[in-house]
Structure 1
Amino acid sequence: MTREVWITGIGMTSSLGEGLDAHWQAMAEAEHPTPVIDKTTFAPYPVHPMVPLDFSQQIPKGGDRRQMENWQRVGTYTAGLALDDAGIAGNLELLSNTNMVVAAAGGERDLAVDQTILEGVGAAESPEEFINERLSNDLRPTLFLAQLPNLVAGNIAIVHKVTGSSRTFMGEELASVSAVEIAARRIRADQGDIFLAGGAIIAERKDVLLVMSGAGWAWTGEPASVWARPEKGGGIILGSVGTFLVLEAREHAEARGAKPYARLGTVLSGRSRREPGQAAEIAAEQFAAIRKEAGDRRLAMLTSASGLSPLTQEEQGFLAGLIARGELDTVRAVPNMLGTSVEATFPSMVGLAALALSRKGFYRPADDTGFETPVTEAPTAIAVNSWGNWRGEGMGLVEAID
């Protein structure tokens, strides 16, 4: 497992815009990076809304667009951007050998059914029987079948003719780590030369916000840095994001003359019960491997810190220790600008890391607590760190290609 993995294509959509230039301008070139947040549509829950997209540019057939939900359209659209960026869109021979690994959540729920259940369950003599009866009689099988997570990969295959192997992961942030991890491992093991890996989420969904609120995770105050939220009870602000990466074996990319953004190094995943200190313990083991691989390169970090308490406080303490010991230059919490993007989290950070390395720069702080410090010299390696809001700890390394 020694083959180099190059990142040769990046497709990205979010509240900040479509494409890499839009994200670079908003996060690196703007003197004061400012997130795009909708505070009113789903009040009291703020969200980072998806920028308006002309889906016909990547999904030309109206029938294809109509049979997809919005989150599927975003995923299929963004995958098309990555294929375009890598220079393989329309190359049927190459696409037939392109493999997919996708991170996806469940589809949109039937809100009318949910509302009926929520309104009636409290007054029901037997809540369990009431729920079973309503689910049996009110849910439409065709609706359920249209929301299966693996349909994102299916739609990408239909629209963009990506017809190699396909795998879909569910499981929040850890699914996004696994999508990139498995693609990279298979390339290194010579089980494929080129992969499309990524995920998409639409935060502007009442059902998703209901789940977040019910779990006690949703932030309802004025938007604030993830590092500031724990002191006020903690909470997540969701963001609509789509990110897909084209990952490729170095020799395969060189043979077709592809120019890489960066090299993807080790990607590691773990899982703890989240007892105090466990997530930091796993992350410390992961970082030790990342730091060793990075050698003497200047190392910065992108993290998906969510703003939850006490999880974010534990992560901040872990990162502060790395900075104090000189093992890490600085850190940027990507959710400050994009929101928490769950299944799109890890590909987004890998894509942003590769973009920064290719442009020999880094992102400005979007944090008023002072924890995120400016860089005096651009990093030549960037670690990406993702702790799921419930389970799962992942970390990876992205390096500049000299």
Structure 2
Amino acid sequence: MSQKVVVTGLGAFSPIGGTATETWENAVKGVSGIKAITDDWVSQYDLPVYIAGRVAQSVEDSEFISKVETKRLDPSGQFAVISARQAWQDAGFSAGDAEEADELDPERLAVSFGTGIGGVWTLLDSWDTLRERGPRRILPMTVPMLMPNGSTAAIALNHKARAAAQTVVSACASSTESLHVALDLIRSGKADVVITGGTESAIHPMTMASFAKMQALSKRNDDPERASRPYDVDRDGFVMGEGAAALVLESEEHAKARGARVYAELAGTGVSSDAYHITANDPEGSGAARSIDEALKAGEIDPSSVVHVNAHATSTPVGDPAEATALKVALGSHTDQVAVSATKSMTGHLLGAAGALEAVMTVMALKDRTAPATINLENKDPDIDLDVVTEARDLPSGEIVALSTSFGFGGHNSVAAFRSVD
């Protein structure tokens, strides 16, 4: 078996919490982070949908980023830096960067971060500035702020990570694929430690209008907290979310040498492509099932060991059944014994950051032996034959496995399999 890779640090900046701990506690309680958008641009553009899951804490109130840094980073970069610093501190490293940490060689530290869209606020605000005020008013940092790899670069610079700085852009599968890259960086011998995760800040009038035009968003403007309702017969689309999440991964050998606290093992990951449609899932779920199967094989995991899935479950009429089908194909009859949580019911859909946030929750589920809630499931779709957790539920003792699944426009499928540790 390949060398073990373990999770030693967690960070999150999400619609239901300013930290990983707060996010997890609210996920267990079933707290919704979805609210009405009250910005002037809602009425200015007469948007048909104006509900979303914005971050629960303002960037200005976070202790993990300075005011100067916020001026040099797109909101997506701000969220990324905050979550990465949280995870770094949580992992117990003794200094702010690898260069100063006695227990870490900066040339053995890498970053693998994902995003679906990147610095869309910077891009579109700069376009408005150019049209209205001319080229002299464009900020010198515009390109570093808008480029999709800007968040990865900011984290790598901050932590002096010199082994690699890689960015994954695979729509809503991005940050789970970033875990796949991170696992390979360690198992290949390229790095001992990787800061991995994902970020997104796309609650912008253009993106809201675009997703609404696709009929992808829920139109429950009058009932925001109940709008995201995975698996419910009355689901009518996803709810936009924003934020970031980060995990510190280490080789087990490196973690043991420095006496690190270990949350769980990242046992395996899987990726595949549907090559079916630019936005729709393959209704047969074959590509998604292959990614699940690949993650299990990579971790030498028997499907019967899987007790929990934090599902992609976006609350779309087409996507939810396709994923349920994929789980049935990959796990067979054992699917009936798996506790499935759909935490987007609380956070909304963080696009490229969704997988990282759900990976953090999956790790916490194993650590606390608790499957988080799925809210708003009032009338379950009879075509979705899954054991959905509607109130937080205990998970079994002993060695168990939990999956985090992510699927994105373009047919991207990615899965992370985590194994519990004593």
Which range, TM-score by smaller chain? 0.7 to 0.9
Q: 2:252 aligns with which of 250, 253, 271?
A: 250
| Structure-1 residue corresponding to 2:35 | 38
Measured against aligned partners, the alpha-carbon deviations of 1:164-192 in whole angstroms (never above 9, x if no partner) come to 32111223123222211011012112221
Q: 2:396 aligns with which of 378, 387, 394?
A: 378
Measured against aligned partners, the alpha-carbon deviations of 1:325-361 in whole angstroms (never above 9, x if no partner) come to 1234121112112111111122222211111111222
| Structure-2 residue corresponding to 1:315 | 323
One-letter identity of the residue aligned with 1:301: V
Whole-angstrom distance in 2 between the partners of 1:36 and 1:161: 34
Deviates more, 1:187-196 or 1:275-284: 275-284
| Structure-2 residue corresponding to 1:125 | none
Matched, 1:226 2:237: no
| Structure-2 residue corresponding to 1:174 | 173
Contact persistence 2:170–2:408 (CA under 8 A)? no
**2:77 aligned counterpart, secondary structure:** helix
One-letter identity of the residue aligned with 1:167: Q
**1:82 aligned counterpart, secondary structure:** helix
Query: 1:347-358 residue pairs with structure 2 within 5 A?
Result: 347-358=356-367
Shift of the 170–228 alpha-carbon distance from structure 1 to 2, 3 Å rule, reads same
| Structure-1 residue corresponding to 2:379 | 369
| Structure-2 residue corresponding to 1:74 | 79
Contact persistence 1:47–1:239 (CA under 8 A)? yes
Whole-angstrom distance in 1 between the partners of 2:152 and 2:87: 14
Whole-angstrom distance in 1 between the partners of 2:154 and 2:126: 27
**1:172 aligned counterpart, secondary structure:** coil
Contact persistence 1:49–1:203 (CA under 8 A)? no
Contact persistence 2:76–2:243 (CA under 8 A)? no
**TM value normalised by structure 2:** 0.80
Contact persistence 1:86–1:246 (CA under 8 A)? yes
| Structure-1 residue corresponding to 2:147 | 148
| Structure-2 residue corresponding to 1:47 | 52
| Structure-2 residue corresponding to 1:294 | 301
Shift of the 386–22 alpha-carbon distance from structure 1 to 2, 3 Å rule, reads same
Measured against aligned partners, the alpha-carbon deviations of 1:112-159 in whole angstroms (never above 9, x if no partner) come to 856999xxxxxxxxxxxxxxxx9x989958534531122212222333
| Structure-2 residue corresponding to 1:237 | 239
Deviates more, 1:191-200 or 1:308-317: 308-317
Q: 2:110 aligns with which of 93, 99, 102?
A: 99
| Structure-2 residue corresponding to 1:284 | 289
| Structure-2 residue corresponding to 1:398 | 418
Whole-angstrom distance in 2 between the partners of 1:357 and 1:188: 23
Measured against aligned partners, the alpha-carbon deviations of 1:344-379 in whole angstroms (never above 9, x if no partner) come to 122222211111111222213323334614646437
Distance apart, 1:103 and its partner CA? 1.0
Shift of the 322–198 alpha-carbon distance from structure 1 to 2, 3 Å rule, reads closer
Whole-angstrom distance in 1 between the partners of 2:251 and 2:340: 29
Identity of aligned residues (%): 19
Q: Gaps (5+ residues) in structure 2?
A: 381-385
Measured against aligned partners, the alpha-carbon deviations of 1:279-309 in whole angstroms (never above 9, x if no partner) come to 6112223334555633343521011222223
Shift of the 72–287 alpha-carbon distance from structure 1 to 2, 3 Å rule, reads closer
Distance apart, 1:324 and its partner CA? 7.7
Q: Gaps (5+ residues) in structure 1?
A: 118-133
Whole-angstrom distance in 2 between the partners of 1:114 and 1:210: 17
| Structure-1 residue corresponding to 2:193 | 194
Shift of the 161–58 alpha-carbon distance from structure 1 to 2, 3 Å rule, reads farther
Query: 1:259-274 residue pairs with structure 2 within 5 A?
Result: 259-274=261-276
| Structure-2 residue corresponding to 1:131 | none
Distance apart, 1:98 and its partner CA? 1.4
Measured against aligned partners, the alpha-carbon deviations of 1:247-305 in whole angstroms (never above 9, x if no partner) come to 10000000010011000011011111336746611222333455563334352101122
Query: 1:23-34 residue pairs with structure 2 within 5 A?
Result: 23-28=23-28, 30=29, 33-34=30-31
Whole-angstrom distance in 2 between the partners of 1:116 and 1:194: 42
CA RMSD of aligned residues (A): 3.0
Deviates more, 1:362-371 or 1:351-360: 362-371
**1:18 aligned counterpart, secondary structure:** coil
Q: 1:326 aligns with which of 317, 323, 334?
A: 334
Deviates more, 1:278-287 or 1:70-79: 278-287
Distance apart, 1:193 and its partner CA? 0.8
Whole-angstrom distance in 1 between the partners of 2:77 and 2:374: 32
Whole-angstrom distance in 2 between the partners of 1:84 and 1:382: 25
**1:154 aligned counterpart, secondary structure:** helix
Whole-angstrom distance in 2 between the partners of 1:195 and 1:268: 18
Matched, 1:8 2:8: yes
Whole-angstrom distance in 2 between the partners of 1:376 and 1:352: 14
One-letter identity of the residue aligned with 2:85: G
Contact persistence 2:152–2:165 (CA under 8 A)? yes
